[in-house]
């Protein structure tokens, strides 16, 4: 039996996840979460970053901010988060563990409710990005990852020929499992 290893992002999915929702932590207004997410994304030129700005503007009619005085914090593989420091305010968005660590370094704490929100998004096949401002976790942005049309059928055909298909990814394991379930893949 031959095995075909395929990366999830861009191969079986469109590869440009889009912001779909803002899920605030208890006691945080959705508008405040969206505003912090927008600021943290203004310098983010990725499709995901642009979609966060668009969603925040569409849902809450937020104005773009002038970044000429801002210190931009680019995403890196090491930090796994990005953001902006502007007018005495720091906003960050990124992987749960990275933002959790940043909040702690700022002297804040992360409410236990965060894990349930993150898990709910990931279990549904989405990608959670945690948002924090000035050392306070505000909530989560839900990104959706769309499976390319016809992928399930193509891989069913390969399996019928005796070719084992395996999806590989660095995504959250819950997100990867949900995507794999959609296309009936073996997940490694």
**Active-site residue among 7, 64, 97, 156?**
7
85 is catalytic: no
Distance separating alpha carbons of residues 117 and 179, to the nearest angstrom: 18
155 and 175 Cβ atoms separated by less than 8 Å: no
Phi-psi region of 5 (alpha: psi -120 to 50; beta: other; left: phi over 0): beta
Could you give phi then psi for residue 60, rounded to 5 degrees? -125, 5
Distance separating alpha carbons of residues 159 and 104, to the nearest angstrom: 47
Q: Other C-beta atoms within 10 Å of 133: how many?
A: 24
Annotated catalytic sites, by residue? Answer: 7
């Amino acid at each position: 039996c031959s095995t075909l290893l395929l990366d999830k992002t861009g191969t079986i999915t469109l590869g440009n996840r889009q912001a779909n929702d803002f899920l605030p932590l208890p006691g945080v207004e959705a508008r405040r979460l969206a505003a912090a997410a927008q600021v943290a994304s203004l310098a983010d030129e990725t499709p995901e970053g642009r979609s966060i700005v668009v969603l925040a503007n569409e849902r809450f009619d937020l104005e773009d901010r002038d970044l000429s005085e801002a210190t931009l914090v680019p995403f890196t593989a090491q930090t796994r988060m990005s953001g902006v420091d502007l007018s005495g305010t720091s906003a960050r968005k990124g992987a749960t563990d990275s933002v959790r660590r940043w909040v702690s370094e700022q002297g804040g704490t992360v409410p236990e409710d965060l894990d349930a929100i993150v898990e709910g998004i990931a279990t549904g096949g989405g990608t959670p990005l945690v948002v924090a401002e000035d050392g306070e976790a505000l909530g989560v942005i839900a990104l959706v990852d769309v499976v390319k049309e016809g992928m399930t059928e193509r891989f069913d055909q390969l399996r019928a020929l005796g070719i084992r298909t395996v999806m590989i990814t660095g995504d959250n394991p819950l997100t990867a499992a949900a995507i794999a379930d959609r296309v009936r893949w073996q997940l490694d």
